Structure 1
Amino acid sequence: MSSTALLLLALAAPLSSYAAPSITQSVWSQLNSTVGGRLHAGIPFARSCFAHVTSGVGGTQDAAACAAVQANYVNHTLLQDSLGGYINTQWETCQATSEQCLLDYQNATDQRAFNTPARICSQGSVPDFGIKVNGASDVLAAYSFSKQFGVPLVVRGTGHEYKGRSGNPGSLAIWTHGLKSITNAPKFVPTNCPKTVKPRTAVTIGAGVIYEELIDFADTNSLTIPAGGCISVGAAGGYPQGGGHSMFSNVYGLAADRVLEIEVVTPRGDHLIANECQNTDIFWAMRGGGGGTFGVTLSMTTLTFPATKVNAVFANVDNSVPGQLLAFFEFMVNNAISLAEQGWGYYLYPTLPGIAMSNTVLSQAEAEASIAGLKQLITKNFTGSGSTWEMTVEPDYKTYYPKYVTRIPVPVGFAMTTASRLIPVANFQTAKGRADLAQAMTAIIDEAPVAIAFGVAPFYHGNNNDTSVTPAWYDSLWHLALANTWNFNETATSLTKIYSDLSSGVDAFRALAPNSGAYQNEADLYEPDFEQSFWGDNYPRLLSIKQKYDPDHLLDCWQCVGWKGHSDPRYKCYLEVNGI
């Protein structure tokens, strides 16, 4: 038997092995019967490696299964296929109490993580159970169960998100990962729209489709469907519902801008088709208001574009030569507006340091001319063997993506947290604003292990004023994000400092852009004034829609619309940081 098969077998123990302390086995069995046998136990991903567990943890210690886990501990496919696996592992744990079931991601066979008397596997924040959704009736059954028994709900797709919204101690997960349909819709008109609405090229996807699958489908059908920085992200989940940026969003807009229709089941009991012509309030809310908040998406229709060539650049700067890093930042800041006007999108890595860039609107000759100044700077003006330049024209998006977007891989299989700020166009329009930003960029090298300036705001695309993402997205050029990582053996005290230091690191950019905001999906976990930061003037309307469709607060989550605050018992595993 393959290691993958062993791992999946270990994570699929029978329902009869488990029962939450406050609910009898017969009650869970009845729910399992109601949903056609699709109730799964939430087993921590590394459970099979542990001899000792706390009460309520399912599964068994198994040497062969443990070896499979160790071999696949940073495998995004198997993590997302497991109800107990999360792309960033702190969401498998209870950070406030240090209860967890983790391995050493740097050496998964290191027995200090799992084979000492002090290492006990705990459920942490992994849901006790999850319904692997097959349709609207499964979602409605979850809502009914939660109301009757008081079990908190979470909405889980791939487990790829940075705020812990898809995990909760003692919870029931509405698990949409199995909804894998993809249908090409080359002449799509939203349901019940008048004939005067112009058909558009689109694709309708189930809520479980990830970008790895969607990119393959798009390539087969000669389409372009922009993705974020990781192919394991769900294409219809929290990514578009929170905004969703990509290397192409300067030209093609945010993922939320491209959504044409959503099939959603609300906690109020509605099974709706929402678009520009019907159920327009929840359609607006779910394009920027955040995932796991207003309802559970079953399917989503999104705009597509023809297959296209991509002008692509990857460059490094030798930071060992004094002054080169600041000169690089100054060039990028001074030219940010013109680059955006010419359709360039990019990921600028201050801590690499270097940059990946893309352009689909210029010809090869035009692209080479527009980027000639940057090439001159790096290949002629800069010295040192670490300064490199690569520019190609890739034939299509699928070929381009692994060469440039994922060249710096997104962390998988270990803990990571982020903090961010959207940097407005106004900061680039004056000499002082540009100088201050370049200096702040240089300073963050000492503030955070990881930093990225995403030149991905939809500047070239423009503002359609039709989504609920913060308006700050459409007034910005950069989304600047900091990040930090850690391993299994950090204490609650050290984690509190990591979160606090990262928040302090982004304070310099909050000061430079006090009236801007942050991208909610990659924001500070302890974002101050989160309502204004994530949604600006859209928040009151979003809150009203939340109260309409989820009056019982079945779909509450951390710093989501309608958040009741840290004191809510469902957030007991979050640390208290900076008074939040």
Structure 2
Amino acid sequence: MGPTQRRVRPGDPSWPSAQAWQELNRAVEGRLSAVTSPLAICAQTPASTACMEVFGRLKNPYYLGDTPALTQASGWLDAWTSAPSAYVVAVANANDVARTIDFAREHCLRLVVKGGGHSYQGTSNAADSLLVWTRSMRDITLHDAFVPAGCEGRLRPASAVTVGAGALWGHVYDAVTTRGGRYVQGGGCLTVGVAGLVQGGGFGSFSKRFGTAAASLLQAEVVTADGEVRIVNACSHPDLFWGLKGGGGGSLGVVTSLTLRTHELPDQFGLIRATVKASSDDAFKALIGEFVAFSADHLVSEHWGETVAFHADNTLGISMLFQGMNQDDAARVWQPFFDWIAEPAHGCTTTPPQVLSLPARRLWDAGFMMQHLPGVLKIDDRPGAPAENVFWTSNGGEAGQYLYGYTSTWLPVALVAPAQRGRLIDALFASTRHWTVSLHFNKGLAGAPADALNATRNTPMNPAVLDAFALAIIAGEGAPAFPGMPGHEPDEARGRRAATRIAQAAQTLRTVVPEPGTYLSESNFFEADWQHANWGSNYVRLAAVKRKYDPDGLFFVHHGVNSEEWSADGFTRVRNR
């Protein structure tokens, strides 16, 4: 039997019969259902109170995650629109996943996997598909001395945590740090799913110290395209294990649980925040230059993470987190930079810098944070929602967002050295004439300790991450929107103007990066050379893993490994191997 050439849709003669769906439902113990979107009311009565209530709920990321028809973003202009699957299996265990995969393979169905649903690329949804929904698989188990299966005598026991594929990072931090007194490298956004983040590589605020989330992976349970449940680690299926550490979610198999190394918790975490305004273009360019020099001397180290943003109105926004030092130490590091700003000749003013710190164990303690830093968290406001369902207020704009453009580029640390610094300063300034440029210091590992670098080196991520002092992100978005839904459609004219300026800013900045690399989970939907941009020299090896464990291409995601063999919607094969 040759490779699958075309997947079937509802209405096709070969679409599974009602009896076949009933058999699947029995196999998964009643966890199959047809998908109905709460947005259906808006298609019928877009101006109704009921529709407005639904759109209000789209700003709650927990509501989005708990609704199989929805995703955390509503779409991307000219790229994709969030669309419900035909059927969903709310899987409770690996056996459910295996039976669902078998059914999809046997009936030539388009298969989609959703955990947290945060994919900017739209990979956790597809119309006319069968959805594997892992949301209910949320168990979290701490281990004092974990040894991967089959590695006894070969690997030392490690402190670790095992989490189900549907777990969210906020809940994992609460278990591991607030209650367990340890640290696990995860994501910054509390409602991001654990499995998706790890399979994309995964950065959090303190990755400069601990490496990527994927670098901490010790073992995973995964169901492959043949319906087999496999335990993968450094000793069992090491090629697939390597591939899962950054090869992309929903591409190599369906991960059902992950075991991650935990680390000793620092004493304190802290924040420094300020907004600096330059009085002219020349003053802003000088400010950029001073900040780049300051970064080279102080921020390319394991202590610092998070962002600075260069805006078109000649302001610099600083929101950086630190670990491994106390509040006074952090203030001393930044004082020379703020002293420079204070000199009248430089034409800059600043809001009073805030330098805060707290016991590290309390950063994800919702009660503590709401008491001592009111306004920093929002709650899941649905009746009966668990108290631990909280999210950062700063992430509120991302719930339901409709993307206009999104690009990322790793910036090599050589650019902040004196010999090349001028090129970087010019490029940053020129880029901001088009759009805001944010530098995420935690998403580049130059300055990280050797253990973090070595662990991340043993993943499929583009090796550019190892030598980058920061990841530059240039992006823009609007409120939740759905094309063709009267009263709730995207502003396409505004969106295309934004997309053009975002592309111009990215193109300008990339003039100083010879071979631009991008972070898979925050990459451009329209990236031309996406294989190299996402994985660099690792793509050939990753493609071989894909061919071995998914030879027929059952798992398809946009810009996923070997996705070039399929049409843009993943339904028609366009190239045979």
TM range (shorter): 0.7 to 0.9
| Counterpart check, 1:225 vs 2:184 | yes
| Counterpart check, 1:452 vs 2:438 | yes
| C-alpha spacing 1:337/1:268, structure 2 compared with 1 (3 Å) | farther
Pairs within 5 Å for 1:508-519: 508-519=508-519
Q: Is the 8 A contact 1:317 1:325 kept in 2?
A: no
Q: CA deviation at 1:551?
A: 0.8
Name which structure has the greater RCO, CA cutoff 8 Å, separation 6+.
2
Q: Is the 8 A contact 2:223 2:253 kept in 1?
A: yes
CA RMSD of aligned residues (A): 2.9
**SS at 2:141 equivalent:** strand
Identify the residue that residue 354 of structure 2 maps to in structure 1.
Answer: 390
| Counterpart check, 1:355 vs 2:308 | no
Deviations 1:116-169 (A, max 9, x none): xxxxxxxx6321111111112222222222222221011111211100111112
Letter in 1 for 2:73: N
1:282 to 225, 236, 240: 240
Identity %: 27
**SS at 1:515 equivalent:** coil
Letter in 1 for 2:331: E
**SS at 2:88 equivalent:** strand
Deviations 1:261-310 (A, max 9, x none): 11111112321111112211011000011111111111111122233301
C-alpha separation between the residues in 2 aligned to 1:373 and 1:407?
A: 31
| Counterpart check, 1:340 vs 2:300 | yes
Q: Is the 8 A contact 2:410 2:470 kept in 1?
A: yes
C-alpha separation between the residues in 1 aligned to 2:51 and 2:561?
A: 40
| Counterpart check, 1:368 vs 2:331 | yes
Identify the residue that residue 533 of structure 2 maps to in structure 1.
Answer: 533
1:440 to 420, 423, 427: 427
Identify the residue that residue 461 of structure 1 maps to in structure 2.
Answer: 449
Identify the residue that residue 310 of structure 1 maps to in structure 2.
Answer: 269
Q: Choose 207-216 or 479-488, whichever is displaced more.
A: 479-488
1:291 to 232, 249, 265: 249
Q: Is the 8 A contact 1:423 1:477 kept in 2?
A: yes
Identify the residue that residue 502 of structure 2 maps to in structure 1.
Answer: 502
Q: TM-score, normalised by structure 2?
A: 0.82
Letter in 1 for 2:228: D
Q: Is the 8 A contact 2:70 2:83 kept in 1?
A: no
Letter in 1 for 2:58: Y
Q: CA deviation at 1:333?
A: 1.5
**SS at 1:531 equivalent:** helix
Q: CA deviation at 1:374?
A: 2.5
Q: Is the 8 A contact 1:558 1:571 kept in 2?
A: no
Q: CA deviation at 1:458?
A: 2.1
| Counterpart check, 1:86 vs 2:67 | no
Letter in 1 for 2:473: A
**SS at 1:348 equivalent:** strand
Q: Is the 8 A contact 2:415 2:421 kept in 1?
A: yes
**SS at 2:103 equivalent:** helix
| C-alpha spacing 1:273/1:430, structure 2 compared with 1 (3 Å) | same
The count of corresponding residues between Structure 1 and Structure 2 is 516
Q: Choose 320-329 or 187-196, whichever is displaced more.
A: 320-329
Q: Choose 246-255 or 382-391, whichever is displaced more.
A: 382-391
C-alpha separation between the residues in 2 aligned to 1:369 and 1:340?
A: 16
**SS at 2:564 equivalent:** coil
Deviations 1:98-130 (A, max 9, x none): 9x7xxxxxxxxxxxxxxxxxxxxxxx6321111
Identify the residue that residue 115 of structure 1 maps to in structure 2.
Answer: none
Q: CA deviation at 1:181?
A: 0.3
| C-alpha spacing 1:407/1:494, structure 2 compared with 1 (3 Å) | closer
Q: Is the 8 A contact 1:427 1:437 kept in 2?
A: yes
C-alpha separation between the residues in 1 aligned to 2:516 and 2:144?
A: 37
Q: Choose 151-160 or 349-358, whichever is displaced more.
A: 349-358
Letter in 2 for 1:437: L
Identify the residue that residue 5 of structure 2 maps to in structure 1.
Answer: none
Q: CA deviation at 1:520?
A: 0.9
Could you list the runs of 5+ residues in structure 1 that have no partner in the other structure?
Answer: 1-18, 53-60, 101-123, 573-580
Identify the residue that residue 36 of structure 1 maps to in structure 2.
Answer: 29
Deviations 1:237-277 (A, max 9, x none): 2x111111122111111111111111111112321111112
| C-alpha spacing 1:434/1:365, structure 2 compared with 1 (3 Å) | same
2:117 to 149, 155, 159: 159
Q: CA deviation at 1:30?
A: 2.6
Identify the residue that residue 143 of structure 2 maps to in structure 1.
Answer: 185
Q: Is the 8 A contact 1:48 1:62 kept in 2?
A: no
| Counterpart check, 1:408 vs 2:394 | yes
C-alpha separation between the residues in 2 aligned to 1:397 and 1:440?
A: 40
C-alpha separation between the residues in 2 aligned to 1:38 and 1:71?
A: 28
**SS at 1:278 equivalent:** coil
C-alpha separation between the residues in 1 aligned to 2:509 and 2:566?
A: 25
Q: CA deviation at 1:190?
A: 1.5
C-alpha separation between the residues in 2 aligned to 1:231 and 1:268?
A: 33
**SS at 1:392 equivalent:** strand
C-alpha separation between the residues in 2 aligned to 1:27 and 1:496?
A: 44
Q: CA deviation at 1:363?
A: 4.0
| C-alpha spacing 1:407/1:317, structure 2 compared with 1 (3 Å) | farther
C-alpha separation between the residues in 2 aligned to 1:301 and 1:294?
A: 18
Identify the residue that residue 253 of structure 1 maps to in structure 2.
Answer: 211
Q: TM-score, normalised by structure 1?
A: 0.82
Letter in 1 for 2:111: L
**SS at 2:514 equivalent:** coil
Identify the residue that residue 20 of structure 1 maps to in structure 2.
Answer: 10
| Counterpart check, 1:234 vs 2:193 | yes
Letter in 1 for 2:511: A
Deviations 1:194-216 (A, max 9, x none): 33522222111000110121121
C-alpha separation between the residues in 1 aligned to 2:500 and 2:548?
A: 35
Q: CA deviation at 1:434?
A: 1.7
Could you list the runs of 5+ residues in structure 2 that have no partner in the other structure?
Answer: 1-8, 378-391, 482-488, 573-577
C-alpha separation between the residues in 1 aligned to 2:208 and 2:67?
A: 34
Q: CA deviation at 1:445?
A: 2.8
Q: CA deviation at 1:522?
A: 0.4
**SS at 1:317 equivalent:** strand
